[in-house]
Structure 1
Amino acid sequence: MSTHYETLRHTSAYAEAFGVEAPAAASELHLWPRMSGFFIRAPAAPQAPLAEGEGAAADAAPSRRRELVPAQWGLVPHWVKSASDGKLRAPKLVNAKSDLVSTGTAFRDAWLQGQRCIVPMAAFYEDDFRQGSKARPTRIARVDGKPMGAAGLWARWQGPDGEELFSYALITVNANNHALMNRYQQPGSEKSMPAILNEGAYDAWLNARVDKAKEFLRQYPAQSLTANPVETKADKVPKGWLE
């Protein structure tokens, strides 16, 4: 289960990789539950039909089809009674299993209402327990270093006084048989990974019919990912120390 991911370091990367207007400021580089990040969704307002011959122009300006929204990582369902209640639930709602998104109480409404999104990330982190009981954080990114767009769900909570909170969750897929991801997470547990979307499928994912949307939730090819253990202070040998 991914509870830590890395956002895009440069704001210009949002426009370059996802065709959205760059934010005024980047979010924190490392995100954990309840922190503020970004998701990308289809425009809230319906677009006017394209006139004949406008298709190419529309393809050249993808920002008209997608928008970047600042939000909390950790879904806050619309039915929670207070923002504080939603924030308490959020750490358990940062990931939505692909096989439960349409039935789970917390995610069902967002799924059925087509509130799908793309979560931009440079990398995500998983724990490696293969060297013993102590977890070794591992950074997982694309081999080519390009940003990844992970499938997600978003929600909008509104309080009785008009208080508004946007939030989102990553959608994960089973990775028990994935050549790379089956090495990580707790031994004996079900392995999972974010459902990373193919770049050419971004708009199709955002606009697909609900009954077709699960077709986009697949494992990302192992050969396209690289995993690197994260160095910590404890890993460094003190200067002058000899074995």
Structure 2
Amino acid sequence: MCGRFSLTTQKQQLEDGFGVALGEGILPPRFNIAPSQPILAVRQPEATRSETGNLPPYEAVLVRWGFIPAWVKAPEQWPLTFNIRSETAAEKRSFRNALHYHRVIIPASGFYEWQKRKNGAAQPYFIRPKHGGLIGFAGLMETWSNADGSQMDTAGILTTNAGAVLKPLHPRQPVVLMREDFAGWLDVRNNRPKDVQELLKPVMDDFFEIIPISDKINNARYLGADVQEPLAEQPQAAPDKGNSQLDLF
């Protein structure tokens, strides 16, 4: 599952890593991104870009982290859908259209997860690539239109069963796309959901490292970089009795 993440990399790294062009000042470092906030999504442009032009292959847009299907009439009555189960997305009316036509990649530097401690409190962890670099979460995007003509771009992060390294923290994890799979995932003109289904799997076990951090991350309004500082001592986890907190969609 993914309820918080960070995006703190330099603008040039993002542009090079995801094949986009970003405006000046669009991306200050963000260490504690929470659902309902604006996030960056990378998508295939609606118009085919010329092979001889200077435009990058993909475009970056700001969207609300919290997917709303286009057919919803009252978004305030729709639950905050920031995670989407990849295994059933093709079967659900809410996500079927987006999986066909509006697949996106959500850039991140790392994400956060919590594990119950012996004292009953939840110990937060920062999860990031072991060898550095950026993460590309598989996501779905939809544009919700109001009766007055206003629109809101929204997105959610696809999840899958957690791999061996992350499973002790939570049974679910975000779907992470390898860079060589970006083009196939984003190519909604030629690749149907069945063509990209094999990408919706746990990342290899040695991809992530898990860092115990302080409780500062629990406050969604706390934005300081020190939320990622490692704890001096390793916390003691409670005995594993199974974790039933799964995605709802």
TM-score (norm 1): 0.80
Counterpart check, 1:110 vs 2:98: yes
2:78 counterpart SS class: helix
Counterpart check, 1:5 vs 2:1: no
Question: Once the two structures are aligned, what percentage of the paired residues are identical?
Answer: 24
Instruction: Pick closer, same or farther for the CA change 1:23–1:89 going to 2, 3 Å.
Output: farther
Match of 2:59 among 57, 67, 89: 67
* Separation in 2, partners of 1:87, 1:41: 26
Count of aligned pairs between the two proteins: 214
Deviating above 4 A after TM superposition, structure 1's stretches of 4 or more consecutive aligned residues are none
- Report how far residue 2 of structure 1 moved: 1.0
Instruction: Pick closer, same or farther for the CA change 1:123–1:143 going to 2, 3 Å.
Output: same
Counterpart check, 1:202 vs 2:194: no
- Report how far residue 231 of structure 1 moved: 2.0
Alignment of 1:62-211 (within 5 A): 64-81=56-73, 85-87=74-76, 89=78, 91=80, 93-112=81-100, 114-175=101-162, 178-185=163-170, 191-207=171-187, 208-211=191-194
2:194 counterpart SS class: helix
Aligned to 1:32: 34
Q: Deviations over 1:174-229 (max 9, x none)?
A: 12xx22111113xxxxx111110011111111112222121111111121210001
* Separation in 2, partners of 1:164, 1:90: 18
Structure 2 residue ranges without an equivalent (≥5): 217-230, 233-249
- The answer (yes or no) to whether the contact 2:42–2:58 under 8 Å persists in 1 is yes
Q: Which has the larger radius of gyration?
A: 1
Task: For 1:229, give the aligned amino acid.
Answer: P
- Report how far residue 130 of structure 1 moved: 4.8
* Separation in 1, partners of 2:169, 2:118: 11
- Report how far residue 90 of structure 1 moved: 5.1
- Report how far residue 35 of structure 1 moved: 0.4
* Separation in 2, partners of 1:88, 1:124: 27
* Separation in 1, partners of 2:115, 2:77: 28
Give the structure with the larger helix fraction. 1
Task: For 2:44, give the aligned amino acid.
Answer: A
Aligned to 2:17: 17
Task: For 1:184, give the aligned amino acid.
Answer: L
TM-score (norm 2): 0.78
| RMSD, aligned α-carbons | 2.3
Structure 1 residue ranges without an equivalent (≥5): 186-190, 237-243
Tell which deviates more after alignment, 23-32 or 93-102: 23-32
- The answer (yes or no) to whether the contact 1:118–1:151 under 8 Å persists in 2 is yes
* Separation in 1, partners of 2:120, 2:91: 34
* Separation in 2, partners of 1:12, 1:30: 21
Task: For 1:231, give the aligned amino acid.
Answer: S
- The answer (yes or no) to whether the contact 1:193–1:219 under 8 Å persists in 2 is yes
> Which is bigger in relative contact order (C-alpha 8 A, separation at least 6)?
2
